[in-house]
Amino acid sequence: MNLTTQKRLAASILKVGINRVWIDPEQIEEVSRAITREGVKQLIDQKAIKAKPQKGISSYRSKKIKEQKKKGKRKGRGSIKGAKKARTPKKQVWMTTIRALRKDLKSMREAEEINATTYRKLYKMAKGGAFRSKSYMKTYARDHDLIK
């Protein structure tokens, strides 16, 4: 039996797609006789025609992956998309290094390992990008006899 017209009418009445229209297999005869919108509406009231529930997208997999990433997994070479500087911008790298260097310089000055003049000199050098890490800065200071 061809019920395409009834399905189309029911879909427009229920405001769903044709694939979501469910017709009771025991009342197919009755449904096939309904050819008007009114007839289909009556069948909907009688529960001979229903709208199937909407299908959702399960978030189980994404939650599981997120949980694993929190543990530090799934972050290998194959998962990396984007250049090194896209993942951590140049500015961010600079900020972290310069903050560490300045904090170290401050602690050295407070511990009186270096005097104010040396502090200022190393500070300016750090600002100019002379050191790439704290260890490089300390090595430089040791090599040039700047640490007491």
What are the extents of the domains in the chain? 4-51, 85-143
Question: Is 9 buried (19+), middle (13-18) or exposed (0-12) by CB count in 10 A?
Answer: buried
4-51 is a CATH 1.10.1650.10 domain: yes
3-class state of residue 71 by DSSP: coil
- Domain 85-143, architecture per CATH: Orthogonal Bundle (1.10)
> Which pair of tokens denotes residue 114?
């270096």
pTM metric for this prediction: 0.54
Least Cα distance to 10 among 38, 29, 25 occurs for 38
**pLDDT (tens digit, 0 to 9) for every residue of the chain, 148 residues total?**
789 999 999 999 999 999 999 999 999 999 999 999 999 999 999 999 999 999 999 999 999 999 999 999 998 999 999 998 999 999 999 999 999 999 999 999 999 999 999 999 999 999 999 999 999 999 999 999 999 8
Q: Is beta strand 49-51 parallel, antiparallel or unpaired with respect to 21-23?
A: antiparallel
